[in-house]
Chains A and B, each alone.
Chain A
Amino acid sequence: MEFESYDVLIVGGGLAGIRAAIAAAEANPRARVGMVSKVYPMRSHTVSAEGGAAAVLRPEDSYENHAFDTIKGSDYLADQDVVEAFVREAPVEIIQMEHWGCPWSRDPDGKISARPFGGMTTWRTCFAADKTGFYMLHTVFQTSLKYPQITRHDEAFVTKLLVEDSRCVGVVALDIRTGRIDAITAKSVILATGGLGRVYAFTTNGNICTGDGMALAYRAGVGLKDMEMVQFHPTGLPFTGILITEAVRGEGGYLLNNEGERFLKRYLPNKMELGPRDIISRAMLTEFEAGRGFEGPHGKYMHLDVRHLGEKVIDRKLPFMRELGREFMGIDIVKDPIPVRPVQHYMMGGVAADISGETEILGLYAAGECANVGLNGGNRLGSNSLSECLVFGAASGRAAAHYAASAKPVTANPVDAMLWDEARRVESDYLEKKGGDERIGPIREEMQREMDAGAGVFRTKEGLEKLIQQLGGLRDRFDRVKIDDTSKTFNTEVVAALELDYMLEVSQAIAVSALAREESRGAHARRDFPERDDEKFLKHTIAYRKEGARPRLEYRDVKITNFQPKARTY
């Protein structure tokens, strides 16, 4: 059989994926670069990033400072060699984005401006108003259209990685529009599928953030690293979970409890609203428990107040926040405080990958939120992730193109057999599934509720054990799922079922990894083990999938270069 065939195939069309595609095309102009995305690329969740992208661009700043802030923010779980490489590359990437047309907000002298951000000791967050992700995504997507060697497969869903003799040789994908299942072969594959926020009920993440790349790699035998490290952003709108950017606090907004008090003085006296996300989210929940939150129809909340900034600053720096308040909450943030509460936002954990995005499988790379290259450790600093998508998207694109240039061609024979098996699986379990008595919606909602309850901001042994039990039960129910939709054309119920399968997979990895980490570090806060334990846990968790059982966990040392772990106080 003849398959679509590429030198470099990227799965995912967000910022990391498109940046990887362009880097591969530029590294080797003769390389054929493919990009498979389950949505049109400009729909990718990068579009919702708001606050900015961190990079050292000002004379008063230094690589060392950005590195230290990131490492301290990570609660010393970041790999320091990776952080040091990242901070050097980030400014180059920000300038590259500028050359491609990103409308960065400017200083009066016409240079790229910066704003303060949580956990950063100086102004280094470059921004395009408060729609930075939107502008960056559309900029790279539109720029990618000028590269004839990049071919897109929009609205195709990858169901399996093709691995032959420990080498990745492509993917099997379902064309959502036609229901056709086919192989796309490639000498190298880059996973850039983003996060998994939809495993939680209350999340800033869009419907498409279902951990696809993590589940694909995990099932192919690659370890998932530090999956217990899940970020909860302090400021989401109640009910919808819509993100209110940290830039609101960067620009001077206050977080107030129901006594009108800037309560962070008890938790982060020196940083106040500009502390890291993990500590602020915990502080908010602690205040709620002490009865100092507001009560609303959608639970407890705090006030985020920008009224003192004035209309002019708000309209120049935070226009999207004003729009979101007006459109979705019926408030004007110039006159009203914004109700907010902690919300799942980002996944530090992900596909174990090195500084070039290489994974344990030859020819398989990962970048962006779906990867864990060791940059974010236990807690990512706000505005490091857009820069991460650029730096590691580009690095993996170059590495994959370089590898593909000397890799052996992919032979059709074993691919034929693998495709046949996979097509049969997807047909019998999904597209042509018979019987079943469970619905996708209720299983998904129960998983989300259980994840919120058991693997939220605070965790306990009992809560995690119960969560693992519940997830096991949900997996059994999923096996009996009934699919109403029998159409081959744009069958979104089949896509939802495939996504739920992935989400149950990565949820279990989160819960089991969290249960085993008997300490509190970064975003992983155990009520039963409230202290950080460097003796036992200054280590990365790596979860390997085991069929029908809990994953096997291994631990790997954290790379320390110049910054010895010490108490993390702000």
Chain B
Amino acid sequence: MPDKKVTIRATRYDPDKDEKPRLQVYEIPFYDESMVVLDALNYIKANVDGSLSYRWSCRMGICGSCGMMVNGTPKLTCNAFLRDYWPRPIVVQPLNNFPVIRDLVIDMDDFMHKLKSVQPWIIRKQEIPLGAGEHRQTNEQIDDFRQFSQCINCMLCYAACPVYGLNDEFLGPAATALARRYNLDSRDQGLKQRLPVLADPDGVWECSFVGECSVVCPKGVDPAKAIQQTKLDTTMRFVLPYGNRE
């Protein structure tokens, strides 16, 4: 096995020089069974071609930087193992549905605006002073929103979403899941303030419930469920009075 090789075909695109993206082929040593696609990219960058550009940091599936299309599927490249693809060539491309800045680097400014638009922070009618200590909250109450709080903003769900592919005004899976995370938090009273964005024509109603977002999420978040639950919120507010949780 000392001479085992793996073929990587990676997207190259430099807006200063290239009219459109192309695939470049690299054949590199597959020297350890534990290697992941990100290790292969790092090998290329360190030893073959220093100009290949991509984002990465933690290489433990939590920082959310290294999402790319791997053989057509959105993946965190830090836990896409070469052994699961070998001996076939591995095609690595930038995440679908986003403008490409360079090579494998996408422009995610759109998400940063959408994240802010759902007001992802605790909203209360009246803050309690720090001196009063913590809000009481049980682990069961945390369980209500736990899965939606696991979002690492990796953008795989947007890359998988056919609706976002057609309409980039669509609020989309991760931003809705994070809005849901706060709406379900027993400490929060901000549902009413978040509803206009969620109920907007480009909000949750734009979703056609394909559910691919939940399939590709590497953290077990179910954005499709968040969207369906939020649809209910946007209708219920007209018929039901709210108690202490607005």
Cβ B47 vs Cβ A441 within 8 A:
yes
Q: Does A441 contact B34, Cβ atoms closer than 8 Å?
A: no
Q: Are A145 and B115 CB-contacts (below 8 A) given A43-B63, A240-B60?
A: yes
Contact of A485 among B51, B79, B142 (CB under 8 A): B51
Interface residue B166 (Cβ < 8 Å from any Cβ of A): no
A153 to B120, CA, bound (A): 20
Contact A48 B50 (CB under 8 A): no
**B54, B121, B135, B152: which contacts A145 (Cβ < 8 A)?**
B121
In this complex, how many residues of chain A approach chain B with their Cβ under 8 Å: the count is: 67
A59-67, A107-115, A261-269, A349-357 - interface stretch:
A107-115
Do the beta carbons of A490 and B134 come within 8 Å of each other?
Answer: no
Stretch at the interface among A98-106, A277-285, A365-373: A98-106
- A327, B121: Cβ atoms under 8 Å? no
Q: Is the CB of A134 within 8 A of B62?
A: yes
Q: CB of A81 within 8 A of chain B?
A: no
Distance in Å from the Cβ of B145 to the closest Cβ of chain A? 8
Chain B residues near A491: list those with CB within 8 A: 51, 53
A503–B53 alpha-carbon span in the complex (Å): 21
- With both chains docked as a complex, state the minimum distance between the C-beta of A58 and any C-beta of chain B, in angstroms: 12
Does A27 make an interface contact (CB < 8 A)?
Answer: no
Bound Cα distance from A491 to B53, whole angstroms: 7
Known: A42-B64, A207-B59, A441-B45. A240 touches B119 (CB 8 A): no
Min C-beta distance of A449 to chain B, whole Å: 13
> Which of the segments B12-20, B203-211, B231-239 contacts the partner chain?
B12-20
Q: Mask for A68-110, Cβ within 8 A of B = 1, else 0? A: 0000000000000000000000001001101111011110111
Can you sample 8 A-B contacts with CB below 8 Å?
A39-B55, A45-B57, A47-B58, A106-B139, A110-B137, A239-B34, A328-B61, A491-B53
Residues of A within 8 A of B240 (CB): none
A489 CB–B CB distance under 8 Å: yes
A98 to B132, CA, bound (A): 12
In the complex, what's the smallest C-beta–C-beta distance from A175 to chain B, in angstroms? 12
Output the least CB separation between B12 and chain A (Å).
11
Q: A145-B115, A324-B60, A485-B50 are in contact. Are A101 and B16 (CB under 8 A)?
A: no
Within the complex, which residue of A95, A207, A490 is in contact with B130, where a contact is CB–CB below 8 Å?
A95
Complex CA–CA separation, A154 to B32 (angstroms): 35
For the complex, is B49 an interface residue (Cβ under 8 Å from A)? Answer: yes
Residues from chain B with a CB closer than 8 A to the CB of A455 are none
Contact of A445 with B by CB under 8 A: yes
Q: Are A109 and B136 in contact (CB under 8 A)?
A: yes
Q: In the bound complex, what is the Cα–Cα distance between A224 and B162 (angstroms)?
A: 52
User: How many Å lie between the Cα of A491 and that of B101 in the bound state?
Assistant: 11
**Contact with B63, one of A48, A96, A143 (Cβ below 8 angstroms):** A48
Cα A103 to Cα B185 in complex, Å, equals 9
The 8 Å CB contact of A206, one of B17, B58, B152, is B58
Contact call A492/B54, Cβ cutoff below 8 A: yes
In the bound complex, residues from chain B placing their C-beta under 8 Å from that of A100 are 121-122
Docked CA distance A416–B187 (Å): 49
Contacting pair A484 B50 (CB below 8 A): yes
User: Across the interface, do A206 and B137 meet the contact criterion of CB distance under 8 Å?
Assistant: no
Which residues between 45 and 85 of chain B lie within 8 Å of chain A, taking CB atoms? 45-47, 49-51, 53-65, 79
A421 → chain B closest CB, angstroms: 26
Q: Is the CB of B46 within 8 A of A444?
A: yes
Quick one: CB contact mask for B143-156 with A, threshold 8 Å, 1 for yes?
Answer: 00110010011000
Q: Smallest distance from the beta carbon of B79 to chain A beta carbons, Å?
A: 5
B192 at interface, CB cutoff 8 A: no
Contact bitstring B4-35, A, C-beta under 8 A = 1, else 0: 00000000001111000000000000001010
Q: How far is the CB of B153 from chain A (nearest CB, A)?
A: 6
Q: Please, how many angstroms separate the alpha-carbon atoms of A323 and B146 in the complex?
A: 16
Instruction: Kindly state the separation between the CA atoms of A40 and B106 in the bound complex, as whole angstroms.
Output: 13
Interface residue A439 (Cβ < 8 Å from any Cβ of B): yes
Given A99-B130, A103-B142, A111-B133, 7 additional A-B pairs, CB 8 A: A92-B130, A99-B135, A106-B137, A110-B138, A439-B50, A484-B50, A487-B102
A146 within 8 A of B: yes
CB-defined contacts of A392 to chain B, threshold 8 Å: none
In the complex, B116 has a CB within 8 A of chain A:
yes
Given A42-B153, A45-B58, also A441-B63 (CB < 8 A):
no
Inter-chain contacts of B145 with A (CB < 8 A): 103
B124 to A, closest residue via Cβ: A99
Q: Does A177 contact B (CB under 8 A)?
A: yes
CA distance A109 to B138 in the complex (A): 7
List, in ascending order, chain A residues with CB within 8 A of B178's CB. 142
- Assembly CA distance A125 to B160 (angstroms): 39
Are B101 and A490 within 8 A (Cβ)? yes
A87 to B235: give the CA distance in the assembly, Å.
48
Residues B121 and A99 in contact, CB atoms below 8 Å apart: no
Cross-chain contact A487 with B134 (CB below 8 angstroms): no
CA distance A44 to B130 in the complex (A): 27
A326-345 vs B, CB cutoff 8 Å, 1 = contact: the mask equals 01100000000000000000
B56's partner among A207, A323, A324, A441 (CB-CB below 8 A) is: A207
Task: Contacts A98-B134, A439-B50, A485-B50 given; indicate if A146 touches B119 (C-beta within 8 A).
Answer: yes
Select B57's contact among A43, A486, A496, beta carbons within 8 Å.
A43
